[in-house]
Structure 1
Amino acid sequence: MAKVLNNGTEPAVLRKLGINEKYQLAMYLLDQYRGTILSCRYTLPQHLALAESQTRLEEVVKVAVVDTIMRHPMLQVGMIDATSKTPSWIQLKSLDLKHHIQWLYLGKDIDFEHTVQETIRVQLDERFPELSTKQPDWKITVIWQAGAAVMEVLLTWNHPQFDGVGAKVFHEDLLEMLTSVDDRGYERPGLNEDILTLPEAPPCLPTPIESLKSLPLDLKYLARVYWDEIRPQFLNRDVSQATWCPIRSSPYKTQFRAFLIDNASLLAILALCRQNKTTITGLLNALALIAFSSRLDSAAAPAFQCSTVMDHRRNLPPAPPDAPWDRSDRAVSNYVTQVPHRFDTGLVGRIRSKLLANSSEGCDLLSTDLQRELWTVAAQNRREILQKLDDGLRNDLVGVFRHVTDWQKTMRDMAKRQRQFTWLISNIGVLAGNTSENAQEWSINRAQFGLSAEIPAAAIEFAPISVAGRGMCVSVNWPDCAVDLMLGERIMADLKS
């Protein structure tokens, strides 16, 4: 139930932030993380892909965004007490869409693709003006060349608001709303030019996972986590930690790159993954292991740890009957966790010896021995993720996080320790973009997922996303102040090749 403050003169408090939301907020407040972007390339219906259709196109997009906002309450809420130990989501009375929808029009002589990539780079490192009680921390930027058949829509947000899967749901629902705008007309209750008046009744916010399900922790698991937390650094004998990359906080700058894989190549890769009992995520982790083993010597990195981000929506109960998003897997909220992986000195040494023997072949042509190691690691990685799925919420990182009482102190302390992970993979899966070739229909033919540098987390982060029937994009980022530029470039090139 909403709690009204000061006899209704202040916004209603809807609920306190959940564990994942507070964790992300602390990093934002400490400037350890800034923005997240999911950018999609939309193909316009033929009748809107005309220079003279600009005004109508703007109206169609605005109305479709309003419909998406009304389906997902986390797009409607602000925050109070952000710097306290108990920040809360609050009900807003209205949204000024000028803060949430921005148009960037390009002349015909401007390079569209370069502009998209540069806009992503800039927005990843931008901060929202303030953690405000007036507007939610998300926006879309629409990039269009007048008369072009495609437009780029960048969804940029502050991570406490929702996670990457929530952003994927946003784009899928926006596509649905764009498709149906002409059928339902342009009038919307509460929409007056750029001001959207929100319903007076408090929205039904998605509930944090710790309030929906128990998060059991076995004593042995909890003791190990606690020991890792309090153990002095001189007692740390774990050679798999990323000591080669000390945590540095400033100056904050994200190095960001991306590469595309066409659909034919992606289908061939998926067939190989199935043949070798793994997935794209398993393959990417194995490829990263070979790349880092090649680029770092045994003195700097005798072994490795990495992390795979996993979505918890599969562990949620059914959505409440009054939830406008209908199903638990369609909630725009924060439901992520991580699965750690470890690669010991024996495995890494074996890979390095085979890389040495393979050096004459070049990085983009692996020997039969190296391919065998690659698929073995990829299959093992998949088994570890499946085991985590089978375990559900038992011994989960979110369960440990519920014991944190001061997130800002925790994240400050984390930034003073040795880095644990060399790399991280955040794969938000396949986006349904409408594979129809009908020139009168909206569709999405490409997506790109971008993360800003996460200072205390992995040294380099990979963020793949694919669009059904359209191929895949893999984005790569690292903190400029901590990772050598040439190393980052080489790791990305290795993965691509």
Structure 2
Amino acid sequence: MANRSNNGTNAIALRKLGINETYQLAMYLLDQYRGTVLSCRYEVPPRLAPAESRAQLEEAVKVAVVDTIMRHPMLQVGMINATSKVPSWIQLQSLDLTQHIKWLYLREHTNFEQTVQETFRVQLDDRFPDLSTKQPEWKITVIRQGEAPIMEVLLTWNHPQFDGAGAKVFHEDFLEMLNNAQNVAYERKGLDGDILTLPEARPLLPTPIESLKSLPLDIMYLAKVFWEEFRPPFLNRDVSQAAWCPIRSTPYKTQFRAFSIDNASLLAILALCRKNKTTITGLLNGLALIAFSLRLDSTAAPAFQSSTIMDHRRNLPPAPPDAPWVSSDRVVSNYVTQCLHQFDTDLIAQIRSKLPANSSEGVDLSADLESDLWAVSAQNRLEIMRKLEAGLRNDLVGVFKWVTDWQQTMSDMAKKTRQFTWLVTNVGVLDGKTSGNGQRWSIDRAQFGLSAEIPAAAIEFAPISVAGRGMCVSANWPDCAVDQIFGERIMADLERWLAQLASSRQS
């Protein structure tokens, strides 16, 4: 089947969107979610830093982007029938790189870091052009200032195109391409100025997770899911749901905050995690539990539910022999599901009994609280590992196969009680190739952020680390549903306690 795209090229329908892709598209169409950003600070080789090398720098970036595009077909495709019940990915004949690479040059007296953060926040809430434009919905924004040996590269995308783990692969592969291109000619087949002509052969798109793996559902699990979905509201006595934070859709605005942890502190925290049989993801879930127990009283929130986003690339079969991305763990696509966690009233009451009455200025972790923290964090890690080991048995993606109208489903969800108080999505450790001699490209820091997900968790935490360079922890929440001061206090608690844990280990 061939369709005519608006730029005059024939576009061939490749496959319909998978479950994860369709679910994310429905949220986007309903304005329940907008953009996702993974920003990395690149160290520029000295030969490309001077002002007179600006043209060579821009060309090197463009060529590296082209090489990355050719490795990952999901960067090459557009969408058709986006508002229908069966949207599809389509093959494009060409890409206009001016739509995907933007340069922002700052004056000498402009605050570089402030501009990066402002750009990051704005792009979280930006909407991509009308889906009918038939261009892939991703872009990079490169921020440069003078002859400083750094540049910030913000990768912003619409989530149906790929997930956060795919964005990490993008940056790592882009870095590889920058270094590979240092000693070779910049010419690339199919690249004419800013127009990239794509190969005529149909690109091999990554297969959706539901078509790669079986999604078995036990009858008791399925019955429980359907009961929770369709029971009358007056029969819902689940006090762990986030009834304290009603779902509101408008006006749409993301509140975003972030803080960084240096590498020495991160290593100290990782050592504590290993000692207590957990991970950074487990620890952040534990710290969030204490923070929300501190900031909400027992009447508003007697118990909690949270969600951890999990990357299932490890559970995929080997990549096809002709796949340009080579291995399943290096695929740019959508392969995440979630692991649910529930914290009962007895546990929350136990934690609250160890918290001081006056907490407006924040509190330190006592020895008793630390004991509970590590117990909860270890349990959280155990739940995630069991979920990964089970593959995709009794996974929500399996239930999602029964959904026939995602826009209606997500619209209905926004009318219900919010389920999760918080969510953690950790894309892990990015390899920034920082052990070089300063003559090669490397990545010094990274920051990951999501726009507000209206029907999802009240606050979402998104940590990311660069190997040998520390970690950034960000959080987002919908401005129309979560009080700004409340969200900032939650983030201040996490920052304070992570610093306390690092200090206790280092002292």
Q: Is the pair's TM-score, using the shorter chain for normalization, greater than 0.5?
A: yes
| Cα distance change, pair 76–150 in 1 and its aligned pair in 2 (3 A) | same
Q: Which residue of 1 aligns with 2:394?
A: 395
Contact 2:46 2:439 survives alignment (8 Å): yes
* SS at 1:320 equivalent: coil
Q: Which residue of 2 aligns with 1:453?
A: 452
- Structure 1 residue runs without a partner (length 5+): none
Q: Which residue of 1 aligns with 2:67?
A: 67
Distance 1:411 1:361 in 2: 36
* SS at 2:355 equivalent: helix
Q: Which residue of 2 aligns with 1:235?
A: 235
Q: What are the Cα deviations for residues 53-93 of structure 1, in whole angstroms up to 9, with x where unaligned?
A: 11110000000000000000000000000000000000000
TM-score, with structure 2 as normaliser = 0.96
Q: Which residue of 2 aligns with 1:97?
A: 97
Report sequence identity in percent. 76
RMSD: 1.4
Q: Bigger CA drift: 178-187 or 164-173?
A: 178-187
* SS at 2:223 equivalent: helix
Contact 2:308 2:425 survives alignment (8 Å): yes
| Cα distance change, pair 197–377 in 1 and its aligned pair in 2 (3 A) | same
- Within 5 Å, give how 1:225-304 maps onto structure 2: 225-304=225-304
* SS at 2:126 equivalent: coil
* One-letter amino acid matched to 2:278: T
* One-letter amino acid matched to 2:236: N
- Within 5 Å, give how 1:69-468 maps onto structure 2: 69-356=69-356, 363-468=362-467
Deviation at 1:360, TM superposition (A): 8.7
* One-letter amino acid matched to 1:420: Q
Deviation at 1:365, TM superposition (A): 2.0
* One-letter amino acid matched to 1:457: A
Distance 2:428 2:134 in 1: 33
Q: What are the Cα deviations for residues 218-239 of structure 1, in whole angstroms up to 9, with x where unaligned?
A: 0000000000110111100000
| Cα distance change, pair 56–339 in 1 and its aligned pair in 2 (3 A) | same
Contact 2:124 2:450 survives alignment (8 Å): yes
Q: Bigger CA drift: 311-320 or 430-439?
A: 430-439
Distance 2:58 2:146 in 1: 12
* SS at 1:42 equivalent: strand
- Within 5 Å, give how 1:9-88 maps onto structure 2: 10-88=10-88
* One-letter amino acid matched to 2:182: D
Contact 1:215 1:395 survives alignment (8 Å): yes
Deviation at 1:482, TM superposition (A): 0.2
Q: Which residue of 1 aligns with 2:503?
A: none
Q: What are the Cα deviations for residues 177-228 of structure 1, in whole angstroms up to 9, with x where unaligned?
A: 0001122310000100000000000100000011111100000000000001
Q: Which residue of 1 aligns with 2:500?
A: none
Deviation at 1:134, TM superposition (A): 2.5
Distance 2:427 2:77 in 1: 24
| Cα distance change, pair 126–5 in 1 and its aligned pair in 2 (3 A) | closer
Distance 1:116 1:308 in 2: 28
Distance 2:104 2:308 in 1: 35
* SS at 1:82 equivalent: coil
* SS at 1:474 equivalent: strand
Distance 2:156 2:271 in 1: 33
Distance 1:167 1:195 in 2: 23
Deviation at 1:4, TM superposition (A): 3.4
Contact 1:261 1:472 survives alignment (8 Å): yes
Contact 2:76 2:95 survives alignment (8 Å): yes
* One-letter amino acid matched to 2:101: I
Q: Bigger CA drift: 360-369 or 152-161?
A: 360-369
* SS at 2:131 equivalent: coil
| Cα distance change, pair 490–320 in 1 and its aligned pair in 2 (3 A) | same
- Structure 2 residue runs without a partner (length 5+): 497-507
| Cα distance change, pair 109–315 in 1 and its aligned pair in 2 (3 A) | same
Deviation at 1:133, TM superposition (A): 4.7
Q: Which residue of 2 aligns with 1:4?
A: 2
Deviation at 1:361, TM superposition (A): 12
